[in-house]
Chain A
Amino acid sequence: MRIPHIILVPNMSKLEKTQSGRKLLYGLTAIFDSPEKLVHAAETVVKEGYKDYDAYSPYPIHGLDTAMKLKRSMIGVVTLVVGLTGGTLLVLFTWWTNSIDYPLFIGGKPLFSWPSYVPLTFEMTVLFGAVSTVTALLVVWLGLPRNSHPLQDTEFMKKVSDDKFGLAIEAKDANFDERQTKYLLEKLGAVEVDPVYYEARELTLKETVLDPKFIGAIVVVAVAVSGATYFGFNKMLLMRPWSSLNEQAKVLPETKSEFYPDGFAMRPPVKGTVARGEMPYRYASNIPGAEKYMKNPILPTKRVMLVGQRDFNIYCSPCHGYFAEGDSRLQGQFPVPPSLHIDSLVTAPDGLYYEVITNGFQGVMPSYARQIPRDERWAIIWYIRALQKAQNPGEVAEAK
């Protein structure tokens, strides 16, 4: 349907789009009272060459998309791509966690037993697909949330959201001309045609974001959330009843007991009990000369030397120094031991070292029997011997 140009008033200047004052013209809105008229109007408006227009209806109307010559919605691509990504990520993640980072052996099955991952791959494909599609729809395709649109809260919107059908042509359209467009819309059977104005500041978020009320609300929410989280995790969970299941009727080592006459919760082992993997030390109480009867029972293999080095560095080096030179790292806090490279100690038998590690030395060096198992003590002695040889190469040459 063409409008005869003769009837029209001469073209209005585009400048008139700005009304007096700060208000700008958004466009013209037309209300129709039946879906047929809206579809017909949309068809005509497209034919007239308008591009910045839109149809509004309380429910999606069949045939309106074709009338408006809208292209097919391609939003499904998002679902496909992100959904498949989600599934792939899950497979990679399960593979890495259960096969690489923390391998789980279950019933002799392969580490990557993919049939178990099928249900979850499906779930993650759906989850990623659905979340991305909805987010993309709202944010990218529809540009929501946006409550600042010029049509928001207008009479037009109130009618369209209830039972009327609307069409709006924007002023920025190249073909827009307030009078001519109004004429066209009325001709198409619009019940009402009204201009819609907006203020330029409505288009920016600046004022809203800098509003002290808004900032205040954000601060209050932030403080409340962080405070509640801190209280919940650091205080509340340690109170009753949250802690009640942690407080069990059991005795811990080194605690008091009303039950046993000696008042100890811990029970001493029966006399003569030998702990697993331990042999009792024959010379339990510093029998003089005992060292002469002991020989290092293990061979100085590479592994023994490495264990000896590790244990020496952990247990001995704080006072004796890494090279057994008596250069304590704890100087001033503990008595400084002599260098292990002095003649009397280099020539001392292995048994003496074993005796000192096991029982301590004259109240200055404590016993290490609890920390260092028997064989590791011998390994340490091998390491000390190696250190002594390394520090006194001359002696080695002499010995040869």
Chain B
Amino acid sequence: MSEVSYGEVIDYTKAPPLVEGNPTLSKIDESIAKPMEKFPSRKYFMALSVTLTMLLIGAVALGYTFYYGIGMWGNNIPVGWAFDITNFVFWIGIGHAGTLISAVLFLFRQRWRTGIARFAEAMTIFAVMCAGLFPLIHLGRPWYAAFVFPLPTQHGVWINWNSPLIWDVFAVSTYFTVSLMFWYIGLIPDLATMRDRTTNKFKKMIYSVLSMGWRFSNKHWQHYEKVYVILAGLATPLVLSVHSIVSFDFAVSILPGWHTTIFPPYFVAGAIFSGFGMVMTALIIVRKVFNLEYIITADHLDKMAKVTLVVSMMVAYAYVLEPFIAWYSGDPVDWFLVLMRATGHYAFGFWVMVSCNVFIPQLLWFRKIRRNIGVLFVISLLINVGMWLERYIIIVTSLYRDFLPSSWHIYVPTLTDFGILIGSFGLFFTLVLLFARTLPVISMSEVKGVTEGAHPSHHLGAEHE
């Protein structure tokens, strides 16, 4: 079973093993802990220097923004939202795939998730951190951000609970908190394993504090597993609600192109789509760099590609439905916007978006392509590009042709805009790299639980009697 190579005829009736090569339990520990225990390779430092440079570019761009104000960006009325909100929606969407893999697939008892769940959850947290940055810097004076919370002030004014922007604040901060706890709860047993493995006194102290004295006791595991199910159950509707609320930011306004009831499901599907693209991109790199091919197998990537294909078609459905509704409603302004998207100033971006999100993923129908890591990597990158453009197109094209032709305005991003975008990627990948160096990127305890012979069969139990 474990000798399967991809050229051979495969017995589809049998599920492939979740962990290839049937390693011993301590070998799993060893290979997962390896990136944390040995001094990182030159490749790692090269990658880190690239991401830190990107982060630095972002920091400089942010410095410019804070020093000179929001005027450093290309935004101007009527295009009041541009790169910042595009990036916000993009990053939040990336995060959603992590929750989907860790929580939704957990509830559906998809045990192949074990190899990738931890990494996907970490990506959720880092992506939400990147996302949270953008509304904050869009304030121009981020130190006044506390006003979005219902704090009693000397003004005696309370926030307007009817505003989707307020819902957004609560949804995203709840999402971040719950994701962080979900991730941390999953990390505790592995941190305890690291505590017992490490010989470095300082590391031992850190791991001891973080693992809180976890003892692998079965009386603890029992409650622990229950809580894991509960958190997964809470996170599943939460992830749907978060992106629905993000879509309300647009759908509740009355702009053509935003004011559509399809937005919540459309945004959720888009989020999962872009998130799976990003998880694939990052996982393909990580499994290569840290030699984890036997835990993150081609089967995992195959399954993720299938999910991506399904969600791609949901997104395609929304793309078809939008012009249909615009035509069917008979609203000339709506129809004008559809034409403007397809043929206007941003038409190139629109068609790149459609190609990346709808046409190219159709290649995933073919098993050969799903299992070709190189091609999959390129497709996942293109999905990232396409989904970023989707948010850009939704936001900018709806704004740049206002109801009044006198206020029409072409938005052109500035260098600062691009700097902040690059910086957010730098932040994300720097955090990913630091995470891979300091914490187990794959859940040791979960992977141990899905190896062959991990659980007693009834047959063996009977033999002892």
Contacts and interface: CB of A to CB of B under 8 A. Distances in A.
Same complex for A and B? Answer: yes
Interface of A: 34-37, 39-40, 42, 54-65, 68, 70, 73, 75-76, 79, 83, 93-94, 97-98, 101-102, 104, 106, 109, 113, 116-117, 119-120, 122-124, 126-127, 129-131, 133-134, 137-138, 141-142, 144-149, 151-153, 157-158, 160-163, 166, 237, 240-242, 244-245
B293 interface: no
Nearest to A139: B212
B215 A94 contact: no
B457 to A, nearest CB: 8
B161 A94 contact: yes
Contacts of B174: 123-124, 126-127
Contacts of A122: 237, 241
B288 interface: no
Interface stretch (B339-347, B403-411, B445-453): B445-453
Given A68-B219, A70-B218, A241-B66, 7 more contacts: A58-B445, A60-B224, A75-B223, A75-B226, A127-B177, A161-B189, A162-B26
A246 to B, nearest CB: 8
Contact of B161 (A63, A73, A116): A116
B161 A137 contact: no
A244 B241 contact: no
Contact of A161 (B193, B209, B212, B222): B193
22 contacts: A34-B456, A35-B456, A36-B461, A39-B456, A54-B217, A56-B218, A59-B189, A59-B448, A73-B223, A97-B158, A116-B161, A117-B161, A119-B167, A119-B244, A119-B245, A123-B170, A123-B171, A137-B223, A153-B196, A160-B216, A162-B197, A245-B140
Contacts of A124: 170, 174
Contacts of A83: 234
B185 A98 contact: no
B399 to A, nearest CB: 23
A256 B23 CA distance: 81
A58 B237 contact: no
Interface string B414-428: 000000000000000
B40 interface: no
B161 A97 contact: yes
Contacts of B454: 35, 59, 61
A47 to B, nearest CB: 12
Nearest to A83: B234
A61 B225 CA distance: 11
Given A63-B455, A123-B174, A152-B215, A98 B226 contact: no
A307 to B, nearest CB: 25
Residue of B160, B170, B217 with most chain A CB atoms under a 10 A cut-off: B217
Residue of B171, B181, B212, B227 with most chain A CB atoms under a 10 A cut-off: B227
Contact of A146 (B213, B227, B449): B213
A62 B216 contact: no
B25 A63 contact: no
A61 B218 contact: yes
Contact of A245 (B141, B448, B464): B141
Given A61-B455, A75-B223, A142-B220, A157 B193 contact: no
B226 A73 contact: yes
Contacts of B162: 98, 104, 106, 109, 113, 116
Interface of B: 24-26, 29, 66-69, 140-141, 143, 150, 156-162, 166-167, 170-171, 174, 177-178, 181-182, 185, 189, 192-193, 195-197, 208-209, 212-227, 230-231, 234-235, 237-238, 241, 244-245, 248, 444-446, 448-449, 453-456, 460-461, 464
A97 B25 CA distance: 56
Contact of A101 (B29, B67, B158, B192): B158
A141 B445 contact: no
Given A59-B448, A162-B196, A102 B223 contact: no
B234 A126 contact: yes
A148 B67 CA distance: 50
B238 A126 contact: yes
Residue of B177, B182, B454, B464 with most chain A CB atoms under a 10 A cut-off: B464
B189 to A, nearest CB: 8
B140 to A, nearest CB: 6
A59 B161 CA distance: 45
Given A58-B448, A144-B214, A146-B213, A131 B171 contact: no
Given A59-B445, A144-B212, A244 B67 contact: yes
Contacts of B453: 34-35
Contacts of A35: 453-456
Contacts of A166: 216
Given A134-B181, A144-B213, A162-B196, A60 B170 contact: no
A111 to B, nearest CB: 10
Residue of A35, A101, A119, A245 with most chain B CB atoms under a 10 A cut-off: A119
B442 to A, nearest CB: 13
Contacts of B160: 98, 104, 106
B336 to A, nearest CB: 27
Given A40-B461, A127-B177, A60 B449 contact: yes
Shortest beta-carbon contacts, A-B, top 8 = A163-B25, A145-B212, A97-B158, A59-B449, A60-B221, A55-B218, A36-B456, A73-B226
A60 B225 contact: yes
A119 B237 CA distance: 11
Contacts of B225: 60
A92 to B, nearest CB: 12
Contact of B237 (A70, A126, A151): A126
B177 A131 contact: yes
A161 B223 contact: no
B212 A138 contact: yes
Contacts of B170: 120, 123-124
Residue of B161, B219, B237, B241 with most chain A CB atoms under a 10 A cut-off: B161
A102 B154 CA distance: 13
Contacts of A138: 212
Nearest to A141: B223
B218 A62 contact: no
Nearest to B25: A163
A204 to B, nearest CB: 15
A93 B150 contact: yes
A244 B29 CA distance: 53
B206 to A, nearest CB: 12
Residue of B197, B208, B214, B461 with most chain A CB atoms under a 10 A cut-off: B214
Contacts of A42: 218
A138 B453 CA distance: 30
